[in-house]
Amino acid sequence: MADAKFLTFEGLDGSGKSTHLRRAAEWLRARGDEVLVTHEPGGTPLGNAIRGLFLDARWGRMDGKVEALLVFASRRQHLLELVEPTLDSGVHVLCDRFTDSSLAYQGGGRGLGADWILELDGLATCGRRPDATLLFDLQPEAAMQRGQKNDRKGGDGPDRLDVEGLSFYRAVRDTYLDLVAAEPGRFRVVDSEGEREETWRQVEVVLEDLFR
Protein backbone atom coordinates (compact mmCIF):
# COMPACT_ATOMS: atom_id res chain seq x y z
CA MET A 1 0.00 0.00 0.00
CA ALA A 2 1.34 3.36 -0.95
CA ASP A 3 0.24 5.36 2.06
CA ALA A 4 2.46 3.77 4.73
CA LYS A 5 4.63 6.51 6.17
CA PHE A 6 8.26 6.46 7.25
CA LEU A 7 8.67 8.84 10.20
CA THR A 8 11.88 9.49 12.08
CA PHE A 9 12.40 10.99 15.52
CA GLU A 10 15.55 13.02 16.12
CA GLY A 11 17.11 15.09 18.84
CA LEU A 12 19.79 15.17 21.51
CA ASP A 13 20.08 12.31 23.98
CA GLY A 14 17.66 13.33 26.77
CA SER A 15 15.31 15.23 24.43
CA GLY A 16 12.40 12.87 25.14
CA LYS A 17 12.09 11.67 21.53
CA SER A 18 12.01 7.96 22.41
CA THR A 19 9.16 8.36 24.93
CA HIS A 20 7.13 10.39 22.46
CA LEU A 21 7.88 7.93 19.65
CA ARG A 22 6.28 5.12 21.68
CA ARG A 23 3.31 7.32 22.45
CA ALA A 24 2.96 8.30 18.78
CA ALA A 25 2.86 4.59 17.90
CA GLU A 26 0.03 4.08 20.42
CA TRP A 27 -1.79 7.09 18.97
CA LEU A 28 -1.62 5.55 15.49
CA ARG A 29 -2.66 2.09 16.71
CA ALA A 30 -5.65 3.64 18.50
CA ARG A 31 -6.90 4.91 15.15
CA GLY A 32 -6.49 1.41 13.67
CA ASP A 33 -3.18 1.80 11.83
CA GLU A 34 -0.43 -0.81 11.93
CA VAL A 35 2.93 0.51 13.11
CA LEU A 36 6.46 -0.79 13.43
CA VAL A 37 8.65 0.85 16.06
CA THR A 38 12.37 0.59 15.46
CA HIS A 39 15.64 2.39 16.15
CA GLU A 40 19.17 3.14 14.91
CA PRO A 41 21.84 2.11 15.18
CA GLY A 42 20.20 -1.31 15.35
CA GLY A 43 16.76 -2.57 14.41
CA THR A 44 17.99 -5.92 13.05
CA PRO A 45 20.13 -8.68 14.64
CA LEU A 46 23.19 -7.49 12.67
CA GLY A 47 22.35 -3.84 13.40
CA ASN A 48 22.07 -4.54 17.10
CA ALA A 49 25.47 -6.22 17.08
CA ILE A 50 26.91 -3.11 15.36
CA ARG A 51 25.09 -0.92 17.92
CA GLY A 52 26.84 -2.82 20.72
CA LEU A 53 30.22 -2.12 19.11
CA PHE A 54 29.33 1.50 18.37
CA LEU A 55 28.25 2.40 21.91
CA ASP A 56 30.75 0.32 23.91
CA ALA A 57 32.65 2.70 26.19
CA ARG A 58 35.70 0.40 26.16
CA TRP A 59 36.91 1.76 22.79
CA GLY A 60 37.02 5.33 24.06
CA ARG A 61 37.06 8.01 21.39
CA MET A 62 36.53 6.62 17.89
CA ASP A 63 37.39 8.55 14.77
CA GLY A 64 34.24 10.12 13.31
CA LYS A 65 34.69 8.25 10.03
CA VAL A 66 34.84 4.90 11.83
CA GLU A 67 31.62 5.87 13.63
CA ALA A 68 29.94 6.83 10.38
CA LEU A 69 30.98 3.60 8.64
CA LEU A 70 29.50 1.57 11.50
CA VAL A 71 26.15 3.42 11.61
CA PHE A 72 25.74 3.31 7.83
CA ALA A 73 26.43 -0.44 7.75
CA SER A 74 23.69 -0.84 10.35
CA ARG A 75 21.40 1.52 8.40
CA ARG A 76 21.76 -0.28 5.09
CA GLN A 77 20.95 -3.62 6.70
CA HIS A 78 17.99 -2.02 8.50
CA LEU A 79 16.55 -0.59 5.28
CA LEU A 80 16.99 -3.83 3.33
CA GLU A 81 15.86 -6.25 6.01
CA LEU A 82 13.15 -4.33 7.86
CA VAL A 83 12.21 -0.77 6.92
CA GLU A 84 11.47 -1.08 3.19
CA PRO A 85 9.70 -4.49 3.39
CA THR A 86 7.54 -3.17 6.24
CA LEU A 87 6.56 -0.04 4.32
CA ASP A 88 5.85 -2.18 1.25
CA SER A 89 3.41 -4.22 3.32
CA GLY A 90 1.44 -1.08 4.22
CA VAL A 91 2.70 -0.68 7.79
CA HIS A 92 3.96 2.69 9.06
CA VAL A 93 7.55 2.77 10.33
CA LEU A 94 8.49 4.99 13.29
CA CYS A 95 12.26 5.05 13.65
CA ASP A 96 14.24 6.45 16.57
CA ARG A 97 17.12 8.23 14.72
CA PHE A 98 18.18 7.89 11.08
CA THR A 99 20.60 9.65 8.70
CA ASP A 100 20.00 13.07 10.29
CA SER A 101 21.71 11.67 13.41
CA SER A 102 24.81 10.89 11.34
CA LEU A 103 24.77 14.39 9.84
CA ALA A 104 24.34 15.94 13.31
CA TYR A 105 26.63 13.70 15.43
CA GLN A 106 29.38 12.71 13.00
CA GLY A 107 29.01 15.59 10.51
CA GLY A 108 28.54 18.27 13.19
CA GLY A 109 29.65 16.86 16.54
CA ARG A 110 32.74 15.09 15.20
CA GLY A 111 33.36 17.83 12.65
CA LEU A 112 33.35 15.63 9.54
CA GLY A 113 31.08 18.02 7.67
CA ALA A 114 28.11 17.15 5.53
CA ASP A 115 29.82 16.22 2.24
CA TRP A 116 31.55 13.08 3.48
CA ILE A 117 28.39 11.87 5.23
CA LEU A 118 26.24 12.57 2.17
CA GLU A 119 28.64 10.64 -0.05
CA LEU A 120 28.45 7.66 2.26
CA ASP A 121 24.70 8.09 2.45
CA GLY A 122 24.50 7.96 -1.35
CA LEU A 123 26.40 4.66 -1.37
CA ALA A 124 24.60 3.05 1.58
CA THR A 125 21.00 4.23 1.18
CA CYS A 126 20.83 5.97 -2.22
CA GLY A 127 19.96 9.10 -0.23
CA ARG A 128 16.81 7.61 1.29
CA ARG A 129 14.87 10.20 3.31
CA PRO A 130 11.89 9.76 5.64
CA ASP A 131 8.48 11.19 4.74
CA ALA A 132 8.69 13.41 7.82
CA THR A 133 11.09 13.96 10.71
CA LEU A 134 10.17 15.23 14.16
CA LEU A 135 13.06 17.10 15.76
CA PHE A 136 12.81 17.35 19.55
CA ASP A 137 14.70 20.53 20.20
CA LEU A 138 16.15 21.71 23.48
CA GLN A 139 19.26 23.42 24.78
CA PRO A 140 22.22 21.06 25.17
CA GLU A 141 22.61 22.08 28.84
CA ALA A 142 19.06 20.87 29.58
CA ALA A 143 19.53 17.69 27.54
CA MET A 144 22.69 16.84 29.45
CA GLN A 145 20.99 17.44 32.81
CA ARG A 146 18.13 15.14 31.86
CA GLY A 147 20.61 12.52 30.66
CA GLN A 148 22.42 12.57 33.99
CA LYS A 149 19.13 12.18 35.86
CA ASN A 150 18.29 9.15 33.74
CA ASP A 151 21.69 7.61 34.52
CA ARG A 152 21.05 7.97 38.23
CA LYS A 153 17.83 6.00 37.81
CA GLY A 154 19.84 2.95 36.74
CA GLY A 155 20.64 1.49 33.33
CA ASP A 156 23.91 0.20 31.94
CA GLY A 157 26.01 3.23 32.83
CA PRO A 158 27.22 5.84 30.36
CA ASP A 159 27.75 4.74 26.76
CA ARG A 160 30.61 5.98 24.55
CA LEU A 161 28.81 9.20 23.53
CA ASP A 162 27.37 10.03 26.96
CA VAL A 163 30.79 11.26 28.07
CA GLU A 164 31.00 13.99 25.40
CA GLY A 165 31.03 17.59 26.60
CA LEU A 166 28.84 20.59 26.02
CA SER A 167 30.68 21.82 22.92
CA PHE A 168 30.02 18.49 21.18
CA TYR A 169 26.28 18.65 21.94
CA ARG A 170 26.14 22.32 20.91
CA ALA A 171 27.59 21.38 17.53
CA VAL A 172 25.06 18.51 17.22
CA ARG A 173 22.12 20.80 17.98
CA ASP A 174 23.37 23.55 15.65
CA THR A 175 23.66 21.00 12.85
CA TYR A 176 20.11 19.75 13.47
CA LEU A 177 18.86 23.34 13.19
CA ASP A 178 20.82 23.81 9.95
CA LEU A 179 19.16 20.66 8.58
CA VAL A 180 15.74 22.08 9.44
CA ALA A 181 16.59 25.33 7.66
CA ALA A 182 17.72 23.37 4.58
CA GLU A 183 14.65 21.09 4.47
CA PRO A 184 11.76 22.88 6.20
CA GLY A 185 9.19 20.74 4.38
CA ARG A 186 10.37 17.48 5.89
CA PHE A 187 11.12 18.61 9.46
CA ARG A 188 8.62 19.35 12.23
CA VAL A 189 10.30 21.01 15.18
CA VAL A 190 8.90 20.17 18.61
CA ASP A 191 10.01 22.39 21.51
CA SER A 192 11.11 19.91 24.15
CA GLU A 193 12.06 22.39 26.92
CA GLY A 194 8.74 22.16 28.79
CA GLU A 195 6.83 19.48 30.65
CA ARG A 196 6.27 16.12 28.98
CA GLU A 197 2.54 16.78 28.36
CA GLU A 198 3.28 20.13 26.72
CA THR A 199 5.69 18.39 24.36
CA TRP A 200 3.17 15.63 23.67
CA ARG A 201 0.48 18.17 22.71
CA GLN A 202 2.82 19.50 20.01
CA VAL A 203 3.48 15.96 18.79
CA GLU A 204 -0.26 15.33 18.56
CA VAL A 205 -0.72 18.43 16.41
CA VAL A 206 2.03 17.17 14.07
CA LEU A 207 0.46 13.69 13.89
CA GLU A 208 -2.99 15.11 13.19
CA ASP A 209 -1.53 17.10 10.34
CA LEU A 210 0.51 14.21 8.89
CA PHE A 211 -2.31 11.63 9.14
CA ARG A 212 -5.30 13.79 8.27
Binding residues for ligand TYD, rule: CB under 6 A, are 13, 18, 40-41, 55, 71, 96-97, 101-102, 105-106, 159, 161
Residue closer to ligand TYD (CB basis): 25 or 211: 25
Nearer to ligand TYD, 27 or 105 (CB): 105
- Beta-strand ranges (E) seen in the chain are 6-11, 35-39, 92-96, 132-137, 187-191
Q: Which residues contact 26 (CB under 8 A, 6 or more apart)?
A: none
Calpha distance 58→97 (Å, rounded): 23
CB of 12 to ligand TYD, least distance (A): 7
Amino acid at the residue 90:
G
Q: Minimum distance between the CB of residue 1 and ligand TYD, rounded to whole angstroms?
A: 27
In the complex, minimum distance from the CB of residue 49 to ligand TYD, in angstroms, rounded to a whole number = 15
Cβ at position 2, least distance to ligand TYD in Å: 27
Q: CA–CA separation, 168 vs 41, rounded Å? A: 19
- Taking the least distance from each CB to ligand TYD, the nearer of 106 and 199 is 106
If the CB atoms of residues 191 and 208 are measured against ligand TYD, the closer one turns out to be 191
DSSP state of 189: E
- Nearest one of 209, 212, 195 to 20, comparing CA atoms: 195
